[in-house]
Amino acid sequence: MLLGRHRGEFAALTDPRSRWKALANFFLLGAGSLVIGLAVVSSHPARVVGDPSVAERLEHVLYGLFGFEGPVGYTGGASSAVGHSLGALGLLTAVTTLYLALRPEHPAARLTADEEQRLRALLARHGGRDPLGHLALRHDKGVVFSPSGKAAVTYRVVSGVMLAGGDPIGDVEAWPGAIERFLDEARIRSWTPAVTGCSEAGGEVWTRESGLDALELGDEAVVHVPDFSLAGRAMRNVRQMVKRIERSGHETRVRRVRDVGVGDGDGDGDGDGELERIRRAAADWRGTDTERGFSMVLGRIGEPGDGDCVIATAHAAPWTNDRHQCFRSSSFAR
């Protein structure tokens, strides 16, 4: 009755999959409550008035699950204990069923093949302005596009928060449309919108279009390679470390993924190319299957379509260890 009267307060879309879970929970937990309830009703044989039949005991359980007194009588305080136990079972069944039936949708984020192609097209035209743009292609992200299709926002849902990663992808002129779609999606599903890892320009657009507050977390360090030098007193410590590493025979190689050797990929070490060995080295270095920092980590190495990504590898001198270690991988280079 209360839910029906205040149904306008429950505007969020429910999860269709959760409705089936609610139905299964009602029948399974309800059946379990009946069995446990029969055991509770029969747990005080010395205090039961008369000799009620199984049908009467079952009727008493059904009444008790709804908070009413049934046909079975007890002496002493047993009636109150049995009633409270049955009421608790009924309340547990009702609360869990309602939670599953009414909870907002929490989809498993995934990027479809069509969405990925549309994002790649946007990145091909506009990706040069954003060094983190390629990270929108993580497979565990969802995406919403602007009405014109010229911009998109990628996101994940974490504990009820619809978390966008970085700036919108695509034409800056179409960013407001993508942000509006993002906010609409959060509103109809009762998610809290938030953004992480956006640029200063992106932060200005986000705050203007969404009303969100901005919090500065850090600055992006950009090195202009042609003008970079180790000369000067300020770079003395760095210069000494570089010379020490050079004298020990170590070297660093920076290459595009497409330029790294690919083997048979079966993981047995027989015939595996350098790319497969880099994957194993990176996995050993992380030490866990859980990838952190979805807005600034691609989460994969060397997949088709990632040929422009850059891999930096450190190689030991031949007389010490000829096995390379992957220090940094999957960084998109413009």
The C-alpha atoms of residue 256 and residue 18 are separated, in whole angstroms, by 44
Question: What pLDDT shows up at residue 334?
Answer: 41
The torsion angles phi and psi of 49, rounded to 5 degrees, stand at -80, 120
Cβ 299 vs Cβ 140: under 8 Å: yes
**Residue 22 has what pLDDT?**
86
Instruction: Give the separation between CA 256 and CA 308, rounded to whole angstroms.
Output: 6
Q: What DSSP element (H or E) covers 163?
A: strand 161-165
Half-sphere exposure of 196 (CA within 13 A, CB side): 13
pLDDT for 11? 62
What residues have CB less than 8 Å from 295, skipping those under 6 apart?
Answer: 132, 135, 165, 166, 196, 197
The pLDDT, as a whole number, for residue 80 is 82
Q: Rounded to whole angstroms, how far apart are CA atoms 212 and 196?
A: 12
**Phi, psi (rounded to 5 degrees) for 216:** -75, 125
Read off the tokens for 40.
């509770």
d(CA 298, CA 138): 6
Which of 170, 190, 31, 173 is closest to 102 using CA atoms? 190
263: burial class by Cβ within 10 Å (0-12, 13-18, 19+)? middle
Cβ-proximal residues to 265 (8 Å cutoff; 6+ apart), any chain? 272, 273, 276
Would you state the pLDDT for residue 128? Answer: 80
Its pTM stands at 0.65
Residue 207 has what pLDDT? 93
Decide the pairing of beta strands 161-165 and 169-170.
unpaired
Report the pLDDT value the prediction gives residue 245, as an integer from 0 to 100: 87
Q: What is the mean pLDDT of each run of 10 residues along the chain (334 residues)?
A: 65 67 89 90 79 86 87 80 88 89 69 91 88 86 93 89 91 95 89 89 92 82 85 92 88 88 53 79 76 73 85 76 44 42
Parse the chain into domains and list their residue ranges: 2-102, 113-210, 225-332
pLDDT of the residue at 104 = 64
Half-sphere exposure of 209 (CA within 13 A, CB side): 24
Provide the token pair at 192: 């809290």
pLDDT at 107: 63
